[in-house]
Amino acid sequence: MEVIYSDEDIIVINKPPGISVHGGDSVVGPTVVDDLVRQFPEIVGVGDPPDGGKTRPGLVHRLDRDTSGIMVVARNQKSFLALKEIFQKRLASKTYQAIVCGAPRAARGVIDFPIGREARNPTKRGAVQGRNVIRGARDALTEYEVLKTGDQYSLVELRPKTGRMHQLRVHMKALGYPIACDTKYGGKKVCCPPGCGRQMLHARSLSFSYPQGRKLHFEADPPEDFVRCLKILKLS
């Protein structure tokens, strides 16, 4: 885990792929939180009661286990509450890059399918479209832009305007261009180029104001496996 910025209030990291952010019933091995607590023990207890500051100290947002990139963590309770409000009010600007199956017809667009839990499999999220039966659906909005296309794959930029769980993965699947190697949402036969062994999604940048009036912007280049996949597919 790479710490790219820290001050008395926040910690910004570049999360590597293949590691969970925090522990849980199905989580095996070390987590991002384990590393954070070793480097910044003061974050223990920072979070929502009764458990937030124990298993999820300082966390105001998360990335999936196989998603890489920028995350911000609160270093004290004051910054935790402030950052939580920033994310809840959608005042943070997030940009992702993804390698997807196929080539979207439109070079740019907006995906606005509401997202909730699939009735047949509550562990998965689904988009409200067609005959899908979705429970507890809430509004979800993602802007996308195609950066480069190849024979079978494309590199796209994704800008989520809401923060639903698995939003980008669900929205790209609903659009008809699932994220490469994403077996959970793209299915077992989802496209997956040789040398690309995880869902190819990277949180490229994050911007927000904290404290009010102080604009912060952070970026992280894609990790080695993502870059290698781009080269294999001639998308770099």
Domains of the chain: 1-89 (3.30.2350.10), 94-204+221-236 (3.30.2350.10)
pLDDT above 70 (res 144): yes
Mean pLDDT value across the chain: 93
With a pLDDT cut of 70, the percent of the chain lying above it is 97
Mean pLDDT of the 88-115 span = 96
146: enclosing H helix or E strand: strand 142-149
Which residues, at least 6 apart from 89, have a Cβ–Cβ distance to it below 8 Å? none
Question: Are 14 and 204 in contact, with CB atoms under 8 Å apart?
Answer: no
CB neighbourhood size of 208 (10 A) = 19
Question: Is the model's pTM score more than 0.75?
Answer: yes
**Catalytic site residue from 7, 35, 64, 66:** 64
pLDDT of residue 95: 98
pLDDT above 80 (res 24): no
- Residue 5's identity, in one-letter code, is Y
pLDDT above 80 (res 25): no
Determine which of 129-138, 160-169, 182-191 has the lowest per-residue pLDDT on average.
129-138
- Residue 13's identity, in one-letter code, is I
Catalytic residue flag (residue 64): yes
CA distance 217 to 2: 16
Confidence of residue 162 (pLDDT cuts 50, 70, 90): very high
